[in-house]
Amino acid sequence: LIYKAITTWFMRIDSLKPNMLENNQQIHWVPEHLRDGRFGKGVESAPDWNISRNRYWGTPLPVWLCACGHRECVGGLGQLHALIGGGNVEKGKKIHAETARKVSDRLRTRSRAILEENGIDVSWAERLEEADISSVDLHRHVIDELPVTCPSCGGTEMARTPEVLDCWFESGSMPYAQGHYPFDNAEEFERGFPADFIAEGLDQTRGWFYTLTVLASALFGKEAFKNVVVNGIILSEEGKKLSKRLRNYTPPEEILDKLGADSLRLFLINSPAVKAEDLRFSERGVTEMSRAVLLPFWNAYSFFVTYANVDQWQPDPNAEPRSDNELDRWIISLLNHTVAQVNSEMERYNLYRVVPLLVEFIDNLTNWYIRRSRRRFWKSENDADKGNAYGTLYHVLVEFAKVMAPALPFLTEAIYRNLVVGRREDAPASVHLCAYPEADRKRMMPALETKMRLVRQAVTMGRALRSRFNIKTRQPLSEMTVVIRNAERRNLVAETASLIAEELNVKNVTFSDNEDSLVSISAKPNYRRLGRVYGSGMKEAAKEIEAFSQAEIRGLESGETRTIKGHNIGFEDIELRRERREGIEVETEGEITVALSTEITDELRAEGHAREFVNRVQNLRKKRELDVTDRISIVCACDDTLKRALETHVGYVRSETLATDVLWQEREGAESVDINGLPARIQIERIN
C-alpha cells in the first residue's frame, strides 16, 4: 500500500452539527445511552466527510468541470439530458442512448475477442448482443463520454470529475433513492419520513446511522428515523471474532436442524446482542432457552390436548372463559397483565425485556396453574368446574400463542392451527394473520396476582428449606409458619393456607405478624446510601446503627426516623440481618419469613412411604404406556414395615393410581423398587 495526499471532495459537516445534535434528541435509541454517548459524541467530533473515492465502479460523482472555471453539479437525469442537448431534453436522451450503444458495442467486441483468444464459450456474449441498451445507463464508462456543454461559457465541453461517490453516501441516501424521490413518489415518501424504525449493528453509529443523519439534516433539517435498535457483535464462546477459517462456531444449519429456528430466534432476542453488547454465542445457551420456554409451552399444550381428547371436549367459539375458580381468574388476569407489559415494552422497542416476561408467564402457567388444576382435569365427572378449567386453559393457550408468535413463529403456528383453525369459522388461517392481543384491563385483578405471587414465594421458600435438610416433598411434615408483617398481605395469603399445606405437604400452616419468635433481627448501615452522608464519620455512625434494639428497628420500619450524628435516617438507610433462633429452621426473602418443622414422626414417615409408593406405581404406568384413564390392579411384595404403612393409606394409594385393589403377594416379572430405603417388588395389571 502506498499512502499519499490526494485531491478529493468533502461535504462540510460543521455547519450541520447543531441541527444533527438537535435531531438526535428526538430519536429513541435502544439502548438509550448510545444517543448521547457513542453516537452523540461521534457527531460532536465528526470531521468533514470525504465523499469521493478513486475507483472505477460506483456512482459517478455528478460534478462537471469547465476550463472557464465553472462547476456544474447535476441534480437529475432531466438536467443532464438538457446539458447534453443544449437545452433540448429529447435531443439529450437520444445522444445518451447512442453513446451507451456505442460504448456497449465496443465492450462486446473486445470481450468477444478476449473470449475467443482464450478458447472460452462465447454464447453468453451473443445473448448480450441481442439485449436492449438503456438510454439511462449511468455508469461512468458511459457518463464520461457524454458531450456536456458548459452553460456558463456556452461553447466549451465540460469534463466530469473522475471520482465516484463513497458507497456510504448512497447508503445514507436510501430513504430517498429507494422511491426515486424527488422525481417520483413524493407524497408516499413524505408520509413515511422519518422512518418509524431501523436496526443495525453497533459499528453503524459511525456508518449508516451517521450518514442517514447527515443527509437528513442537510436536506430536511430533521432526523431520518424515529426509533433505532442497535445490536451488538456475536463472538465465539471464547470471546473471539467468528471466523470461517478457525471454524470457532457451530454452523447455523446444524443448530437449526438440531434445536430448531424458534430456539435460536428466541435465544438471540433474549441475548445481550439486542442491547448493543457483545454476545458470546454458545449452543448450550440455545438449548437452555429451548428448555426454559419451548418445551414447557409445548408440554402445557400437550397436557390440554391429551385430556381434551379423552373427554371429547370442544371449545365454544363464541364464549369467553368465565369462572368462579380462583386459579382460573388468576391466570386470566396474569395473561392480560403479561399482554399489557409485552405491548408496552415492544412499543418502546425493548426486545430484551420481553422474553423474561414470557418465561415468567410460562412458569406460572405450567408450574402453578396446571399443577394446581390437574385434579380438575383428571376427575371422571364432566361438571361445570371441569368445563371452566378446559375453557380457561384453551383461551390462555390460544391467546398466548398469539403473544409468542413473533418470537416463536413455527411452534405457535402449530399450536394455533390445531386448536383454532377448523374449529372457529371466522378464525384467520394462521396465527400470523391474527391481530396482536391487547390487554383486557377489566379482567386484570392486581390483588389476586399479588396474593398468588406471595403464595408462590412462600411455597418456594418452604421448598428451599426442605432441600436444605434433604427432605423430599413427598415426605409429610407437621407444621409451617408464615410471617408477613403487612396485615392486608398476610390476610390475603392466609386465605390459601390449605393450598400452601398441600403444595409443601405439611399438616398445618399458621400465619403471624411477628418474626421475633423465629429469628433475631439486627440492623446494619446501608453503606451505599449513608457513605456519602457520613464520609469519614461512617465508622462511628455504624456502631450506633448496629446497636439498635428490635423495637427501634420496628419503629423505623413503621416510618419513624432517628437522628444519628446530626443526620436523620429512615428504614431505607438500614439493612436487616436475620439469624434463626435455636431449634428453628427459617428462610427469609423480602417481606416473608417462613419456619418449617423438620421433625418426622412414625405416622408422618408411614405417609411418606405411601406417597413414594404412589410415585413408583405412576412410573410403571408411564413405562407400560397406559392411558391416563386406565384402571389397574397392584400386586406388591414387601416387608411388614412398608406393608403396614401402605395398608394405613391404601385409600390414598388407590385413588391416586386409579387402582381397584392392592394385593400383597409375590408375582413373577415384578419390578424391584426402593421406597425410602425399604425394598419392594411391584407389578401392575390393566383392568379391562
Reported confidence tier of residue 134, pLDDT bands at 50, 70, 90: low
Q: What is the pLDDT of residues 572-586, one digit of tens each?
A: 888 877 766 555 678
Q: What is the structure's pLDDT at 126? A: 62
Mode of pairing for the β-strands spanning 678-686 and 659-664: unpaired
Separation CA 576–CA 519 (nearest Å): 11
Task: Give 236 or 339, the one with higher predicted confidence.
Answer: 339
The three-state (H, E, C) secondary structure of 525-564, written as one string: ECHHHHHHHHHHHHHHHHHHHHCCCHHHHHHHHCCCCEEE
525: exposed, middle or buried (Cβ count in 10 Å: 0-12, 13-18, 19+): buried
Task: Give 196 or 243, the one with higher predicted confidence.
Answer: 196
Reported confidence tier of residue 426, pLDDT bands at 50, 70, 90: confident
Distances (CA, A) of 221 to 23, 29, 181, 213, 330: 8, 19, 17, 9, 51
Average pLDDT estimate for 133-155: 80
Phi-psi bin for 505: left (phi > 0), alpha (psi -120 to 50), beta?
left
Helix, strand, or coil here: 148? Answer: strand
Q: What is the structure's pLDDT at 128? A: 55
Q: State the DSSP code for 433.
A: G
Could you tell me what percent of the chain has a pLDDT over 70?
95
Containing 594, the helix (H) or strand (E) segment is strand 592-596
User: Is residue 349 within 8 Å of 342, Cβ to Cβ?
Assistant: no
Distances (CA, A) of 502 to 365, 475, 587, 616: 18, 12, 19, 20
Q: What is the structure's pLDDT at 580? A: 63
Helix, strand, or coil here: 506? Answer: strand
Q: What is the pLDDT of residues 20-52, one digit of tens each?
A: 999 999 999 988 999 999 999 999 999 999 999
Q: What is the structure's pLDDT at 544? A: 86
Q: What is the structure's pLDDT at 415? A: 93
Separation CA 125–CA 115 (nearest Å): 9
Q: Which segment of 214-218, 284-288, 298-302, 420-424 scores lowest on mean pLDDT?
A: 420-424
Predicted confidence (pLDDT) at residue 393 exceeds the cutoff of 80: yes
Q: Residue 555 is which amino acid? A: G
Separation CA 437–CA 336 (nearest Å): 9
Q: What is the pLDDT of residues 303-336, one digit of tens each?
A: 999 988 888 888 887 777 888 889 999 999 999 9
Q: For residue 182, is the peptide bond before it cis, meaning its omega torsion is within 30 degrees of 0?
A: yes
Residue partners of 305: CB distance under 8 A and separation at least 6:
418
Q: What is the pLDDT of residues 51-94, one digit of tens each?
A: 999 988 889 999 999 988 899 999 988 999 998 888 888 998 89
Cβ count near 498 (within 10 Å): 9
The mean pLDDT value of the chain amounts to 87
Mode of pairing for the β-strands spanning 477-484 and 506-512: parallel
Reported confidence tier of residue 114, pLDDT bands at 50, 70, 90: confident
Beta bridge partners of 160: 64
